[in-house]
Structure formats: structure tokens, C-alpha cells
Structure 1
């Protein structure tokens, strides 16, 4: 299985998703601007996405894919499908419980992640409402993560890479004819949850066409599910470092009106090389490494890692240089317009410059972490992640205040 080919498929559909995502974010930023409405919507997107990336796409995928690949190789497809169904039932239940608890506790959660608006009741309550609306997106993404893991293990990357375009199309359809900012934000929040359902449904159909029948079971901690949970524990921490760092930055930025919107706009361009290169290669690399570890005599793991390193840096370094050299040019061209002013673009460019020189390191995390996860070693990535979070909190708070 060619790593370069699978990466190209993943990157191609990711690029399509990013282009549609840009159209979505440009429409939203021009409608909402970099004020309290824009900051509230940025929070409503960030919080469920944090759980999605940590629990669904991050820790769960890293724990599930190697076990699923090993079960399929050693026992057969029927047993692997049963393992997938067991994991699916437990993951969906956990995601639903997290969603409900987060919705109930949202006023207190918002004091942590949106505390700068606590003395502005209208803006604060609006952020609570939007985030409660978007939280069910997590359940859809939890389901989608498992279905994507099954498809990717079979070497079918196209559908899982294309599914996120549904989110962008759904939000665009919800806001394109709306002129009033608060109504546009409400429509977009509802669209996020609808998109989660559509993505899960599309990927489920893909698994059925592959011949893998995954269904609900009574949630039980079977030996296979326990193995996934044991690996997920440290993996949750290891995979959450980047996203916890983003949450720290979002919490600090809530004390300046518009700063969340600036960081969100800068993050969208920062995520472009990370998604097209780092995530695409990482997604293609993990199933290959998992199979190589299950059949160590092939020696394919070292070869795959070498390919991934060279391929990632060949594309990442030029992208990072562009973000560092011309951040204002990029921000003015991509975002300025409507309620998003030139002053907002300049403030966003300052953030993009510092995101830019960190891009190669973030891409390398995506390349260097899968070898640990493929071997079931999540403790060392966890230790590195904890150090990263502590350094970020210390530096972020001291530099901000």
C-alpha cells in the first residue's frame, strides 16, 4: 500500500474541505465580524471540536486502529467487525454522556473558557446558548471516527477524507442568505450539529458497502474494549496537548474583545498545512504502521516512517516560510471584508506570524507520534504532552498579563 498515494488521496479531499471551509469562514467572518458575536461563535466551534479531536479523532483512533488491524489480521474480518461494534457502542454512550453533562454545566464551563465576557450578560449567555447547540456534534464525530478507522484500515481513505466537506456545505447553506449577525450565528450552530449526523451516516454507509456491519450492542467492557480504554487513557493526554494549548489561548484571549476571532482566523490558515500535510500523512501512516507491527518480519515500519518524514518536510517548510514572510498579505487577502476590518486583519497577522514558525514542529508531532501508538506505547507521548501544556500555560499567562 503506497503511503504517498494514500496521503495524496487524504490531502486532496482535505484541500477540498479546506477550500469549502474557507468559503464558510469567510462568509461567517464577514457576517459576524471580530466582536462579541464572532467571539461567541468561535467559542461554540472550539469547545465541541476540542472533545472531538481529543476523544473521537485523536485518542480513540490511535487506540482503535492498531487493535482493529491486529484482530483482522490474526483472527478475521468477522471478529474485527464484532470488536468494532463493541467499541462503537461504548464510544457512542460515552460521547452522549459527555455531551449532556457539558450542556448542563455550560454556564460554569464558560466561566473558564469565555471568562472575559462574564461581566457582559448578553454576550456571555449567547456564547452559552451557541455552545449548547453545537455540543451534539461530538456524538456524530465519535461515530464518524470509528467508521473512518474501519475504512482507513481497509485502505479506503477517500470517503473519510471527503466527509468533512458536509460540515462546510451545511453551514454555508444555513448562513448564506442571512444578514443579521446573531441569527446567522444561531443558524450556523444548528448546522454544525446537523452536519455531525450527516457525516456519521455517510461513513456508516461506506462501511456497509465495504461489507463491515457495525451495530449497537449492549455497552460492555469486553477484553477488547478494555484494551482500547487502557491505551486511550495516556493517549487522551498525549493527543490533547495541542488542543488544550488552544483552549488556554482561547481562555486568555476572551479578556480582549475580538481576540478570539483573530486567533480563530489565524488558526484556519495555520491548520491548512497541518491538515493537508501532517494530518493527511499521519492518517495514512497509522494503519500501515499497525500492520507492520503485526508482521514485524517485513521491516515496513522504518521505511514508512522515513517516507513520511521526507514527504512532510518537503511540503511543510515552504508553507511555514509563506506564513512567516507574508502574514498580513495573507490575512488581508483571505479575511478582510464586511464586518472583518483591515485592523482585524493586522491583529490576526501578528498571531499568524508566530503560528507560522511553529508549523514544522506541529507537523512532525503528527509523523512521530503514530509509531508509539502503533506499538501501544502511549505513555511517552503523554509525558511529552504534559510538559508542553505546562510550558504553554506558564508562558501564555506570563506573556499575556
Structure 2
């Protein structure tokens, strides 16, 4: 299967999850708006969700995957099973201890880490503590699921781990539908959603556990022991978790800062949901697939194949994210109005969320490129360098957020986030080039400016189309008209962008497909692939 096919498998499943996520956010916006319950729920959910991202997109898709793949090549499937059991025993024990400690410390954590700005509002503070206490076990479930997802990715079975997150949104949509039917008030909705999050963690863990057994690996529980392999994993995992989850670290810090303003946490969360669609579909798909492919090519001594994988991946992500970034920049307000403005979500909330979303659009290419650059380090088992760059970007984010938030509120925090993202991307790329681990090829250098021109022309056309269809996109127009107009604008924008991109030579589907096909498998690869 070509890399495009693998990206499509993971990206398609992620797209399904994000689309269900949109439905969830639309229902939630109507139910609780950007009020105190929304702030409490989003702040409480941010904490376990941040740790989930650190494990799922950091430690175990960065440190565990290369070690698991190496174990398969060295000792076969039986050796990989033993390694998995060693890691599972340690991870399960640590997670249980962490969950107990965090549950008992939740009031302190909310007061100092999660949302110190809520302390002056006793009701909001108490609700945040209770909601976070209910949801925190989600972390343990998702961290174990992340380990099993890493195993599946190494075995080229991408679908189960990618489709599992869909069930979080499906369950929460069901909870919101029940809340609407039972006429729950905002606080009841918040508590029902929290129990739904915890239930979804167990469902997602069950899905990947079944998939791992179906792949031929049965994991038993072993007494926790720091074996050589486990120690190596821990050495790699800590910096990998920090590096891979830098976006989440910044979001957690920004949630802490944003708790000082009413409705800011919820506004950031609603904008983030939209922005996460292209970031999740493209960025996570590329990071998930590229790391094991790149690690395998480097271990086999195939330097040319590794360079081609890197260049074609960057080409692919820019081809898809540049138009998404341009669209978010120029048409954020009609998108937010269509998705959220109903029920308890007011027109003034639309303006605020749209400002934040437009700023996020400027940072979208940076965060997707980070996903493509980091495997170049992790595949070589270098997790320290990206961690240092991640720490620098966190410093940039915190400094700017503290400076801009008092004057600009949510948009100031969004500006800090995207600036930190570009700093991180530039440092990663510069180091790869300096070490000789990335060699740009001529096709990529020729295509990037042409893709930028195509995205710019598309944005210019959307800008003028928005003025022409201002009434059809306003809140005075009915929902069907707004939906039809937005769909027409999106289709028109796609025609312009893809037309210019292909006509100018910025993209060539046949060439990209040929360039991204995998080399013939070695004997070892043939043995380990299903």
C-alpha cells in the first residue's frame, strides 16, 4: 500500500471522529453556550485529555513504536509479546497509582494548575473539581489504549486505533440527545457529559484490545519490573511525551491563564474543535504512518527511501493544509455562526470564537509540519533534541500569553500559541538540515511557492464572495440557506485551489502517487506484515 493509502486509512477514520466531534460541539454549544458550566467542563476535561495526548501522540507513538518494531525484527512476534507484557505491567501499575493520587489531589490541582481563576467563584470551582474527578480515569484507559495502538501501527494495522476515538464523540452525542429529551439544565448536562467521557474511555480501550488479540498478540499481566527494554522505553518516553504533546502542554497552560476571564476557556475550546479537523486528519495521519515507515527505512540503511518519505510527506501535508489555513483565516465568522450560533450561543460569542479561529488558521501549517518533522528525530531514537525545542516554544507561548491576555483576551492567547508553533517548527527543520538528516529535493522546492499562490488566490476569491453573499451568511438568513451558501463557497474554493495547483504544477497526483509508493519489502518486512 502507498503512503497515501495509509494516510487515507488513518486520516479517514480521524475525519469520522472529527465530524462527530463537530456534531457534539454544536449540540453542546446550544446546551451550555460559553457560560460557567461550559468553562467548568472544558477546563476539567482539558486535564485528562492533555495527559491522553501526551501519551497517545507523544510517548507511545514516538518511543514505543520504534522499540516494538525493533523487537519484532530481532526476536519475532514472541519477543514482541514479551516486551509488550513487560511494558503493560509497569504502565498499568503507574497509571493506577497516578489516578488515585490525582483523584485525591483534585481540589489542589484545580486551584493551582487547571483553573486558578475559578477560585473566586466557589460554584464554578466546585463544579470543575467534581467534573475533573469523574473524568480523570479516562486517562488510564486511553494511555493503555495508546500502547496497544502503537502495537497495531507497528503491525501495519492502522484502522482500529484510528477509529476508536469516534466512540467518544458518539457516546457524548448520545448523552446530549438524552439531555435534550429529558430537558436537563446546563449543570445536569455537564455532569452527564463527564460520565460519558469516562464510559468512552473503557469502550475505546476494549476496541484496541480486541484488535491486538485479533492481530495475534495476547497480552498477559506481568509483575511490574524495570527490565532493560522498559528502562530504555522510559528514557525515550519522557522527552517524547513532552515533545509530541507540546500543543497540549501549551493548551493546558493557556487554560490556566484563560481561567481569569469569563467564557475565554470555552471560546478557545470551540475554536480549537474546528481547527483540529485539518490538524487531526492530516497531521495525526502523517505522524502515525510516517514514524514506523521512516524507522524501518533507516534501520534497513535505505537513506534515499527515507529522504523521499520525508519530502513527499511535507509535500502532502502542505498540499492539504495551506488551503485549509487560508479558508479559516478569511471565512472563520460564517463557519462559527453556522456551526454554533443557536440556543445559548450568542452572536457576541460568534465574533470572539471567529477571531480566535482565524488566528489558529495562521498556525495550522506550523503544527502539521511539526508532526512531519518530529519522526525524523524519533526514528533515530533522538527524543532529547525535540524536547529542548518544545521547552523553548513553551517559554515563547507562556511569555506572549501572559503579555497579550490582559489586553486582547482569547485572541491574545491564540496568537501566543501559533507563534510558539512556528518557532518550534523552524527549530526542528533547521536542526534536521544542519545534521544532514533532511535533504530537500527539487520537486518539493518547486511546488511549495506554487501551492502558496494557489492558496492565496483562493483566499482572495473567498474574501470577495463573502461580501457578495453577506445576507445569505448572516444570522437573519435561515439555516438551510446558510448551509447551501457555505457549501457552494467551499466547493468553489476547492475548484479554484486545486485547479490552480494542478495547472501550475504545484501538484501532480500521478507523480505524488508514484513517489510515495513503498519500496519492495525485505524478507524481514514480509514476515512481520499481516
Give the drift of 1:198: 0.7
Which residue does the alignment assign to 1:91?
91
> In 2, Cα distance between the equivalents of 1:379 and 1:229?
12
Alignment check: 8 A CA contact 2:39 2:263 kept: yes
Alignment check: 8 A CA contact 2:55 2:146 kept: no
Question: Does residue 1:175 correspond to 2:176, yes or no?
Answer: yes
1:360-399 Cα distance to aligned partner (Å, 9 max, x none):
0000000000111111101110111011000111111011
Alignment check: 8 A CA contact 1:274 1:362 kept: yes
Which residue does the alignment assign to 2:518?
none
Which residue does the alignment assign to 2:220?
215
Give the drift of 1:20: 0.8
Residues 141-290 of structure 1 mapped to structure 2, 5 A cutoff: 141-178=142-179, 179-290=184-295
Off by >3 Å, runs of 4+ in structure 1: none
Which residue does the alignment assign to 1:16?
16
> In 1, Cα distance between the equivalents of 2:26 and 2:247?
24
Alignment check: 8 A CA contact 1:36 1:123 kept: yes
Which residue does the alignment assign to 1:371?
376
> In 1, Cα distance between the equivalents of 2:54 and 2:372?
17
Alignment check: 8 A CA contact 1:60 1:228 kept: no
Distance of aligned partners of 1:299 and 1:71 in 2 relative to their CA distance in 1, 3 Å threshold = farther
1:240-281 Cα distance to aligned partner (Å, 9 max, x none):
322121112111111111111100000001111110111111
Which residue does the alignment assign to 2:364?
359
Which residue does the alignment assign to 2:524?
none
Alignment check: 8 A CA contact 1:114 1:251 kept: yes
> In 2, Cα distance between the equivalents of 1:263 and 1:376?
34
> In 2, Cα distance between the equivalents of 1:399 and 1:300?
44
Question: Does residue 1:323 correspond to 2:328, yes or no?
Answer: yes
**SS of match in other structure, 2:245:** helix
> In 1, Cα distance between the equivalents of 2:221 and 2:57?
20
2:388 is aligned, of 380, 383, 386, to: 383
Give the drift of 1:298: 6.4
Which residue does the alignment assign to 2:39?
39
Runs of at least 5 residues in structure 2 that lack an aligned partner in the other structure: 407-530
Alignment check: 8 A CA contact 2:58 2:242 kept: no
Which residue does the alignment assign to 2:338?
333
Alignment check: 8 A CA contact 2:145 2:205 kept: yes
Alignment check: 8 A CA contact 1:70 1:290 kept: no
> In 2, Cα distance between the equivalents of 1:259 and 1:233?
31
Alignment check: 8 A CA contact 2:57 2:244 kept: no
> In 1, Cα distance between the equivalents of 2:265 and 2:226?
40
TM-score (norm 2): 0.74
> In 1, Cα distance between the equivalents of 2:237 and 2:309?
24
1:262-316 Cα distance to aligned partner (Å, 9 max, x none):
0000000111111011111110111111211221146422121112111100000
**SS of match in other structure, 1:76:** helix
> In 1, Cα distance between the equivalents of 2:223 and 2:404?
50
Give the drift of 1:28: 1.4
Distance of aligned partners of 1:258 and 1:289 in 2 relative to their CA distance in 1, 3 Å threshold = same
> In 1, Cα distance between the equivalents of 2:107 and 2:17?
32
> In 2, Cα distance between the equivalents of 1:60 and 1:156?
15
Alignment check: 8 A CA contact 1:316 1:360 kept: yes
User: Looking at both structures, which has the greater relative contact order when contacts are Cα pairs under 8 Å and sequence separation is at least 6?
Assistant: 1
Question: Does residue 1:139 correspond to 2:140, yes or no?
Answer: yes
Runs of at least 5 residues in structure 1 that lack an aligned partner in the other structure: none
> In 2, Cα distance between the equivalents of 1:229 and 1:218?
17
Moved more, 50-59 or 382-391: 50-59
> In 2, Cα distance between the equivalents of 1:297 and 1:41?
48
Which residue does the alignment assign to 2:118?
117
Which residue does the alignment assign to 1:102?
102
